[in-house]
Chain A
């Protein structure tokens, strides 16, 4: 008896899947892995591991944190960018917060923010940027002021309540990211005294108003220093961010700044072929070069 065509088709499909699995799923990757054993390729295929005294200290392609056990920057090292995963290759992630992520969730004052579950607070992207800018500015001895940021390093954002909902006279204004008892960044908004933010209060009827402030458009703290990368493993920082850190690193190591600046130049990767990507400084390689001095 002839096999019905719908059965023979599915049999062909099963055979095809088995065949292609062996060819494309086993033979192909194994051959490529075999080629990767060639000298010149092997180190790269194994992850561009960097060794010091025969022990792996990282990969030249993967960024790492140069902080102490408490998370504070180690002054003798150039610092990497902020990372949503804390430079953990087992849990890579981006922040995924949007351009209008500007309102924090305040923590419950009855809970301990340092406990395992925390106090339930959640920083919006704006406050993360402002806090990083202030911290980097303080560390490097420059102003960390940025547009839309308060001087205490949170997002300068009001919830403004109007008589008519979306319009009319202002009845109330709250600086939502500044938890009481903080002093609001703006004492008065359109004739109304600005309140600090209180945990648990529902401000959703107010209109969100970010306040630009008078910070200059460009900050001495570069953009890459206040934003998390996409990979969360970014091995690079911008040339500007490296130059900002040179003075601190030089004084922590007792080196002339010129020497550190020269090392930055040596470890800057320009654009590939002159037009691909952005110039970038490899942080691990730069720090290793400093350690070798």
Chain B
């Protein structure tokens, strides 16, 4: 079988599995978030937390709960990172905490994991003890994912409810999503990964003497338990520096397939929850269709560019194989790269910096699309619904009608929230890049010329969109980069999240207007095509100049 045929079947098999999951996992997710009754264990948890599970919150209280939890998480994780050497110091690094985890690195890392970004300015194997990886970083992998899903569900409640001030209870959503969805799936996935060869132990590993007499330290660690949620929660923070390229994180081709499946499965299933909650499954299919069209195009283009291997070095080599492992090959590496940036995961099984110019542009473009196809867990759905709101607004302007979506009027207040949401991330990216170039901090880039500029663009695009992957040549563990990217991640996560909840609050308050002959049907191919168009056009208008100076200058 040729490489191309195998690569195509690989993609089709993923799509088939995701289609099945859309229906069954989607229905399960719906039952979890819509359930009226609390489990006995959950009641105990709510009592321990001191919250009333039946007291629903207005959008302001919901937002403040999210922010309170995230603030406490950032402070807690910062302290944990700085104090990690006090207990259970395995591995016992020679370097002290002040030589390894500088305050600016701890800030960057704490923000990175709480915002579901998992941007890593450190190397796991030489910086973090096993304890802080599993009880600090991996905990945020779970709860930051749960926060994303909770906010998406709150937005959908805004569409589904009528004349209500209430969007649900954040503590209930957080607890249910973690306990009933993330934890069981992660546990099963972790065991599967161990079957594939991912390590799971609490030791310093094994000292080996190689066949030619050299010493090799085979690292240990609780990797499988972290790897599972790293993909499932679209987090992406690797236990080791080389992330999912490391054979102990991703030992073979089928674990690679499994990891891609895990990182796309919840984002692709969430439109089903949307359809079920607004009591019209066709609306869910329409959103799914938009996500799938963009995703398939992104995956296909990345594959085409990488398999064509344009550029001086790939032509000299005869393949775009630098930074890729043999067991995955070029095609499956390209598919992983596209999937990780179409979602907000940021895990990598190959190194994007060494991709062809246009192949390396695709991950950047995928992130610039706002990570809505299918996007991060929760953030993908709420991002796509914002785009849908903008689309009905644009369509309403064309025919001179007050736009409406699912019976809710999109008035001045709603479109302000939606526009603010859309504008914040490009602003952070472009201002960040400009600041890096103006202050001379671009000079930590590894490559020269347009490719070096792409490294800077990639860094801010990844941080502001909460992706976490990188053109990893650039050195970012400096006070300036750690601080600037930390701010981009923080603002890129929480400002949009507040606008989403604000929009949800104002939608929930409305009584739906009945559909009339002039209502734009939002489940038909016309609407699907318009949403795809809005995504592509808005992004092209915003980012084309930056892309022209980087990957386009290099590749054309």
Interface set of A (CB-CB < 8 Å, partner B): 5-6, 8-17, 19-21, 23-26, 28-29, 31-33, 35-36, 41, 44-49, 55-59, 61-69, 74, 77, 81, 87-103, 125-126, 129-130, 146-149, 155, 210, 212, 217-219, 222-224, 226-238, 269, 271-278, 280, 284, 287-288, 291
Q: Which of the residues B171, B190, B194 comes within 8 Å of A12, measured between beta carbons?
A: B171
B137 to chain A, nearest CB (A): 9
Most chain A Cβ neighbours within 10 Å, of B208, B312, B320: B312
A219-B318 in contact given A32-B190, A45-B194, A66-B211 (Cβ < 8 Å): yes
Convert B442-480 into 0s and 1s, putting 1 for each residue whose CB lies closer than 8 angstroms to a CB of A. 000011111100100000000000000001110000000
Which 4 pairs of residues, A with B, have the shortest CB-CB distance?
Answer: A277-B253, A25-B135, A278-B329, A99-B311
A229 vs B246: C-alpha distance when bound (angstroms): 10
Q: How far is the CA of A35 from the CA of B254 in the complex (A)?
A: 21
What distance in Å separates the Cβ of B80 from its nearest Cβ neighbour in chain A? 9
Query: Measured between alpha carbons, how far is A17 from B318 in the docked complex, in Å?
Result: 51
Within the assembled complex, what's the spacing in Å between the Cα atoms of A263 and B464? 51
State in angstroms the CA–CA spacing of A291 and B473 once bound together.
Answer: 39
A–B complex contacts, Cβ < 8 Å, 30 sampled: A12-B50, A15-B49, A24-B143, A29-B134, A29-B222, A46-B199, A61-B197, A64-B210, A65-B214, A66-B210, A77-B212, A87-B216, A88-B217, A93-B123, A97-B353, A98-B554, A126-B313, A146-B316, A227-B322, A230-B245, A230-B333, A230-B350, A234-B247, A234-B326, A236-B326, A237-B326, A238-B326, A277-B256, A277-B329, A280-B326
A11→B68 CA distance, assembly (Å)? 9
Q: Is B35 engaged at the interface, CB distance under 8 Å to the other chain?
A: no
Bitwise interface map of B from 58 to 78 toward A, beta carbon under 8 Å scored 1, else 0: 000100110011011100100
- A74-B212, A275-B10 given; name 7 further pairs at CB < 8 Å: A6-B64, A12-B171, A47-B220, A89-B218, A96-B353, A229-B323, A278-B329
A258 to chain B: closest CB distance in Å? 23
CB pair A95 B218 closer than 8 Å: no
In the complex, which residues of chain A have a beta carbon less than 8 angstroms from the beta carbon of B449?
A: 100
Binding site for A on B (CB under 8 A): 1, 3, 5-6, 9-10, 13, 45, 48-51, 61, 64-65, 68-69, 71-73, 76, 123, 125-126, 134-136, 138-139, 142-143, 171, 174-175, 178, 183, 186-187, 190-191, 194-203, 205-214, 216-220, 222, 224-226, 240-242, 245-248, 251-254, 256-257, 310-330, 332-333, 348-351, 353-357, 360, 446-451, 454, 471-473, 554
Residue of B nearest to A64 (CB): B210
Contact yes or no, B187 A31, CB < 8 A:
yes
- Chain B neighbourhood of A55, CB < 8 A: 209
Determine if B332 and A92 form an interchain contact, defined as CB atoms under 8 angstroms apart: no
Known contacts A62-B248, A91-B126, A96-B473; is A48 also within 8 Å of B197 by CB?
Answer: yes
> Whose C-beta in chain B lies nearest to the C-beta of A81?
B326
B199 touches A45 (CB 8 A): yes
Instruction: Please state if A47 and B218 are interface contacts (CB–CB under 8 Å).
Output: yes
How distant is the Cα of A28 from the Cα of B199 in the complex, in angstroms?
15
CA distance in complex: A266, B332 (Å): 24
Q: Which of B72, B123, B211, B241 contacts A287 (CB 8 A)?
A: B211
Q: Is the CB of B321 within 8 A of A17?
A: no
A125 close to B313 (CB less than 8 A) = yes
Contact pick for A41, options B194, B355, B356, CB 8 Å: B194
B316 touches A129 (CB 8 A): yes
**Whole-angstrom distance between the alpha carbons of A3 and B297 in the complex?**
53
Q: Are A101 and B451 in contact (CB under 8 A)?
A: yes
- A74 CB → nearest B CB, Å: 6
CB proximity of B59 to chain A, nearest CB, Å: 14
Q: From B207, which residue of chain A is reached at the shortest CB distance? A: A56
Nearest B residue to A212 via CB reads: B315
Closest Cβ neighbor of B229 among chain A residues = A24
Chain A residues positioned under 8 Å from B207 (CB to CB): 56
Please give me the residue from chain B that is nearest to A291 by CB atom: B211
The reply to whether A17 and B73 contact each other, CB–CB distance below 8 Å, is yes
Q: How far, in angstroms, from A217 to B254 measured CA to CA in the complex? A: 32
**Cα–Cα distance between A89 and B143 once the two chains are bound (Å):** 30
Whether the pair A90, B219 counts as a contact (CB closer than 8 A) is yes
The CA-CA distance from A92 to B223 in the complex, in Å, is: 15
**Chain A residues closer than 8 Å to B317, beta-carbon distance:** 129, 146, 223, 226-227
Contact, CB under 8 Å: B208 / A92: no
With a cutoff of 8 Å between Cβ atoms, the chain A residues found around residue B330 in the complex are: 278
Q: Are A223 and B218 in contact (CB under 8 A)?
A: no
Chain A residues near B248: list those with CB within 8 A. 47, 61-62
Indicate if the CB atoms of A17 and B69 lie closer than 8 Å: yes
CA A93 to CA B220, docked complex, whole Å: 17
Give, as a whole number of angstroms, the nearest-CB distance from B8 to chain A. 9
Q: How far is the CB of B412 from chain A (nearest CB, A)?
A: 30
For A5, give its contact among B61, B206, B450 (CB under 8 Å).
B61
Are B212 and A68 interface neighbours, CB within 8 A?
yes
The answer to whether B50 touches A271, judged by C-beta atoms less than 8 angstroms apart, is no
**B351 touching A230 by the CB < 8 A rule?**
yes
> Given A47-B248, A278-B329, is A95 in contact with B212 using a C-beta cutoff of 8 Å?
no
Question: Bound state CA distance, A26 and B136, in angstroms?
Answer: 10
* Cβ contacts under 8 Å, B323 to chain A: 94-96, 227-230
Complex CA–CA separation, A36 to B224 (angstroms): 10
In the bound complex, what is the Cα–Cα distance between A14 and B72 (angstroms)? Answer: 6
Q: Is the CB of A93 within 8 A of B242?
A: yes
The answer to whether A10 touches B314 (Cβ under 8 A) is no
Residues of A within 8 A of B220 (CB): 46-47
